[in-house]
Amino acid sequence: MKMLNTFLIAVGLAMDAVAVSISSGLNLKSVRTGYALRIAAAFAVAQAVMPVVGWFAGYGAGDVIAGFDHWAAFGLLVAIGGRMIWGACTEAGTDNYNPIYAPHLFLLAIATSVDALAVGLGLSFLKMPILQSAILIGATTFVLSLLGVFAGDRLGKHVESRAEILGGIVLIAIAVKILIEHTR
């Protein structure tokens, strides 16, 4: 597989993480560089590790994973997005979604990297080496997610009071998109 093809796959895989990064930037009261780096790193690591897991899963587990991966991603994203919207619409305002809180960030990173698992399976079937692909996928996701957090922060300054609702809607929309793509 040529490097350009791998890069294009990496960009495609990163899009869900970028959308969630924008949502995270919307929901942070103030984006610090450390926060943006933490979010981008979490998504990058998940996007780099999942193809490796898929690659090693290889032939045997491919059908098993493909049978439920989209449902897991859908459930996680809807739960987190719904919690964000609920928190914004109730008096639980101080207990709202925090995208840099480790459990939230972990779930988001896993949910947005499920497609990378399938890519790893595909690379395994094609007998392609995985290390270079995983590094490129992770690096691409890191850069794009970092930019996404800062873009969300800028957008958030314009929609302040509705930022958390908008972020929740984005997560639910991504969940629906994943489900539709995998159930056709």
- Tell me which of 52 and 80 has the higher pLDDT: 52
Whole-prediction pTM: 0.73
**Element (H or E) spanning 150, and its range?**
helix 131-156
Q: How many CB atoms lie within 10 A of CB 151?
A: 16
Determine the pLDDT at residue 142. Answer: 98
Q: How far apart are CA 94 and CA 182, in angstroms?
A: 36
> Is the model's pLDDT at 56 over the cut of 70?
yes
In the block, tokens 């809607």 appear at 169
DSSP letters, 28-95, are SSS--HHHHHHHHHHHHHHHHHHHHHHHHHHHHHHHHHHTTHHHHHHHHHHHHHHHHHHHHHSS-GGG
In the block, tokens 């939230």 appear at 104
> Is the model's pLDDT at 158 over the cut of 90?
no
Determine the pLDDT at residue 33. Answer: 92
In the block, tokens 């395994």 appear at 124
> Is the model's pLDDT at 181 over the cut of 70?
yes
Neighbouring residues of 143: CB distance < 8 A, sequence distance ≥ 6:
40
Q: How many CB atoms lie within 10 A of CB 3?
A: 10
> Is the model's pLDDT at 182 over the cut of 80?
no
Q: What's the pLDDT tens digit per position in 91-135?
A: 555 455 677 889 889 988 998 888 788 788 777 766 778 999 999
Determine the pLDDT at residue 1. Answer: 47
Q: How far apart are CA 136 and CA 10, in angstroms?
A: 7
DSSP 3-state of 25: helix
- Tell me which of 160 and 126 has the higher pLDDT: 126
In this structure, what token pair is assigned to residue 66? Answer: 């493909």
Q: What is the mean pLDDT of residues 144-156?
A: 89
Determine the pLDDT at residue 162. Answer: 67
Determine the pLDDT at residue 146. Answer: 95
Q: How far apart are CA 122 and CA 55, in angstroms?
A: 7
Q: What is the mean pLDDT of residues 35-51?
A: 95
